[in-house]
Amino acid sequence: MTAPTTVLPLSPPGRVRVGGVEMDAVREEDVLRRVAAALEAGRGGHIVTPNVDICRAASADPALRALIGSADLVVADGMPLVWAARLLGTPVPERVTGADLIWSLSGLAAGRGWPVYLLGGGPPEVAERAADRLAGACPGLRVCGAYAPPYGFDRTPEGVAEVRVKVVAAAPRLVFVGLGFPRQDLLIADLRRELPGAWFLGCGAAIAFAAGTVARAPLWVRRAGLEWAFRLVSEPGRLARRYLVDDLPFAARLLGGCLAARLRHRRRRRMKA
């Protein structure tokens, strides 16, 4: 699969630009309302949840920026992005994570009778365990499928076709895809052609969090913007290079650039006054 090459407008309505990525200035409750309204009208959609790592990758690849920009909702899944937007004077109201949306959207689906499908999460038992925990927490939730494709399935048309057949046959209204960016969102772009009336959430590690196989940071750590540090301590072998070598310098440059832009703007305003 390859990223779509659609040329997008520079400033989509209702979005703010942070780190080269356009994001919607919405709260979690706004996401739920928009998804519910669309599903009731028979319209599907795609939610992308950029964090610092995703913005870093997108900043170097126009095709990935187009992939993100083509989504129906793009929410800030990283506190540095929220801070950067505030510094620029174009704030997003709060951090909205895939790890939270998988629960709130499941609650919405349970109340409306919409079947959900879990795709990804790592080992096969993880998706199944997440499905059980979501169903236990959301009475009435109907999970119509939970499947973890084998590693490398998306390297061949046959592997993608097998996943497509499973998901389409289940006829979900909501699909949580936890395969990591950009793999999950490229697959979503493919699946949407077969399920135009379903909503897809690219949610990274959210399925593993929901299953309880990967610990999530306490609430106070998340609110402080230190969830990355908690995950680094929990999985240093897998995340050390990504967080310390790649993402931390990018976040520092992003915030430093936004602060400098804010100071320049204030200086120009004072000079005009």
pLDDT value of position 168: 97
pLDDT greater at residue 236 or residue 105: 105
Inside any domain, residue 7:
no
Inside any domain, residue 2:
no
Inside any domain, residue 10:
no
User: What percent of the chain has pLDDT above 70?
Assistant: 95
Inside any domain, residue 209:
yes
Question: What's the distance, Cα to Cα, between the start and end of the chain in Å?
Answer: 53
For the residues 182-186, what does the mean pLDDT come to?
Answer: 96
Residue 255 confidence (pLDDT) above 90: yes
Residue 8 confidence (pLDDT) above 80: no
For the residues 211-224, what does the mean pLDDT come to?
Answer: 90
Per-residue pLDDT of 16-57, as tens digits, reads 999 889 999 999 999 999 999 999 999 999 999 999 999 999
Inside any domain, residue 1:
no
pLDDT value of position 13: 55
Residue 237 confidence (pLDDT) above 80: yes
Per-residue pLDDT of 196-216, as tens digits, reads 999 999 999 999 999 999 989
pLDDT value of position 1: 52
User: What percent of the chain has pLDDT above 90?
Assistant: 77
pTM: 0.90
Inside any domain, residue 165:
yes
Residue 10 confidence (pLDDT) above 50: no
Domain count, the chain: 1
Structural domain span for residue 246: 15-272
Inside any domain, residue 33:
yes
Inside any domain, residue 95:
yes
